[in-house]
Amino acid sequence: EHSLLRIRDLSKEEIFDILQDAMAFSCSQSDWQFPNKVLIANLFFEPSTRTHYSFASAQHQLGACVENFTAQGSSVEKGESLYDTVKTFESIGFDAVVIRHKKDEYFKELENINIPILNAGDGCGNHPTQCLLDLLTIYQEFNTFEGIKVAVIGDIKHSRVANSIKEAMDMLGGEVVFSGPAEWCEHDENYRDIDEAVAWADVVMMLRIQHERHADTMKMSKEEYLVKYGLTKERAARMKPHAIIMHPAPVNRGVEIDSDLVEAGNSRIFKQMSNGVLVRKAVIKRAMGYKPFDK
Ligand code: CP
């Protein structure tokens, strides 16, 4: 059984296996499909565009049958629990489920599920496939993780992306620092002032303000946020010449990043999305018990 719940559940070797397999999906195994019938359900209890539809794209490309579940219109509206919902998918013949849910570590309730679960994001906890696509994007750029410096900037406190990339880069020999407003970013030993972080980093990873997870509304204007905590053109000009801009998206253009930088030459934001399909193909293939390409 090859569920993927948290990046920290993977060994270094397993991460490299997934990344190598993902890269093979862009060339030598681009046409690879399941030889048998595979049914996968995508259960999204929170909004998503990239994760949901790149999982669906990956599943279709692999020849799997795909069902997209939404709580609205399902028996969740009659009070059915997450466990009973997932157990139902298992019982009616599905081979794997992809789940996004607002509850941190929702998967702890699902220990008696006997089909693979692929975590598409749990609350402020984990987003392992996002982390893998981020790693793939970094690896394609630098050919290594050793010594690579990543500055994650923005709403760190509510970000499952920040947690996952920190865990992964610590394991792989990179360095991660955080920057952002004091209320959303602890000023501990990993904190850097934004100007220092931008000039230091090989990867400047900007994060969206997650208003949906905040109790209060933001007190400053969007323009003020950009100037104080965002990636402005002036700051971007002080990035190292080889450094890249990343963002998990969706992007609030003009808030955490100047709109013109989203598609700048050193931005990999849309590349990250394409890489999302490749890593999700690798993760789904692994979940179904197939070995990575060439192993
Ligand atoms: N990056 C990310 O998880 O995007 P979605 O919320 O659109 O899936």
CATH (domain of 182): 3.40.50.1370
In tens, the pLDDT along 177-205 reads 999 998 888 888 999 999 999 999 999 99
Q: Which of 130, 164, 273, 279 to mutate to test the pocket of ligand 1 (most atoms within 8 A of CB)?
A: 130
- Per the prediction, the chain carries an average pLDDT of 95
The pLDDT of residue 140 is above 80: yes
Q: Look up tokens 């018990």; give the residue.
A: 289
Instruction: Say if residue 233 is in the same domain as residue 191.
Output: yes
| Residue closest by Cα to atom 1 of ligand 1 | 248
Could you tell me if 133 and 242 lie in one domain?
yes
- Check whether residue 216 and residue 200 sit in a common domain: yes
Give 130 Cα–ligand 1 centroid separation in angstroms: 8
CA 235–ligand 1 middle distance (angstroms): 26
Has 286 been labeled as part of a binding site? Answer: no
Q: Are residues 33 and 138 in the same domain?
A: no
Helix (H) or strand (E) holding 88: helix 82-91
Ligand 1 centroid vs 232 CA: distance in angstroms? 23
Domain count, the chain: 2
- Residue position matching structure tokens 């607002």: 102
Hey, which of 158-167, 208-217, 261-270 has the most confident mean pLDDT? 261-270
**In the numeric block, which tokens belong to residue 156?**
């760190």
Select from 216, 5, 226 the least CA-distant residue to 100.
5
Query: Do 48 and 88 reside in the same domain of the chain?
Result: yes
ipTM confidence: 0.99
Tell me which residue range forms the domain holding 159.
128-273
Q: Are residues 134 and 248 in contact, defined by beta-carbon separation less than 8 angstroms? A: yes
Confidence of residue 260 (pLDDT cuts 50, 70, 90): very high
The atom of ligand 1 lying closest to the CA of 127 is 3
3-state secondary structure (DSSP) of residue 66: strand
Six-digit token string for 60: 């279709």
Q: Is residue 132 located within the same domain as residue 265?
A: yes
Tell me which residue has its CA closest to atom 6 in ligand 1: 48
279 in any annotated domain = yes
State the distance from the centre of ligand 1 to the C-alpha of 294, rounded, in angstroms: 31
Note whether 242 and 141 are same-domain residues.
yes
Whether residue 294 is predicted with pLDDT greater than 80 in this model: the reply is no
Q: Domain check: are 230 and 118 in the same one? A: no
78 is in an annotated binding site: yes
β-partners of residue 60 are none
Can you tell me the distance from the alpha carbon of 162 to that of 173, in angstroms, rounded to the nearest whole number? 16
Whose CA is closest to atom 3 on ligand 1? 51
DSSP class of residue 8 equals G
Q: Which residues line ligand 1 (CB under 6 A)?
A: 48-52, 121, 130, 248-250
Q: Binning pLDDT at 50, 70 and 90, where does residue 215 land?
A: low
Q: Are residues 177 and 236 in the same domain?
A: yes
Q: Classify residue 2: in a domain, yes or no.
A: no
